[in-house]
Amino acid sequence: MIAPLIVRPVNEHDTILLREGVDGLADFASLIGLDLQDSYMTLGSGFDSVYNKWLIRSHDMIPVIKPNRRGTKDEQKLEQMYADFNEPIYQQRFKIERTFAWQDTYRKLVIRYEKLEATHTGFKYLAYSMINLRAVFGGNSL
């Protein structure tokens, strides 16, 4: 895990934080010399919007966002929604979800006791460092 963190109260949905997150990721990648051009960004169906896809493409990345059916039953509309969806890449998303599950093993992150954002962010970095150490030296493959 290498990425900038955005820590906000639990009542702010992730879709609101996407712009700040993508911009932060692009800045961080540039800072460490990582080229994100033509890399995939996978997101759940809650992020399915024209704006979010545009935002990701504006950073030269490829959005892989599971289409939100929104109750659509028309087969042609469904085919159009899934036309540019890359299912094999999206299936790799389980690695991200597994990482979130590893993060949730740290009670201090699941139930936020800290009032200061900096303290909570510090604990997140500590947890991510421990996850990275476990992945590198503990034999767990990512």
Does residue 3 carry a pLDDT above 70? no
Q: Please tell me the distance from the alpha carbon of residue 124 to that of residue 102, in angstroms, as a whole number.
A: 12
Of 85, 73, 7, nearest to 48 by C-alpha is 85
Q: What is the model's pLDDT at position 57?
A: 94
Q: Are the C-beta atoms of residues 75 and 100 closer than 8 Å to each other?
A: no
Q: Torsions phi, psi of 71, nearest 5?
A: 75, 10
Owning domain of residue 69 = 8-85
- One domain, residues 119 and 58: no
Which pTM was predicted?
A: 0.69
Give 62's strand partners: 40
Q: 12: pLDDT confidence band, cut at 50, 70 and 90?
A: low
Does residue 141 carry a pLDDT above 60? no
Domain boundary among 49, 66, 85: 85
pLDDT in tens, 120-139: 888 888 888 888 888 788 76
pLDDT in tens, 53-71: 999 999 999 999 988 888 8
Looking at the 3D structure of the chain, how many domains does it have?
2
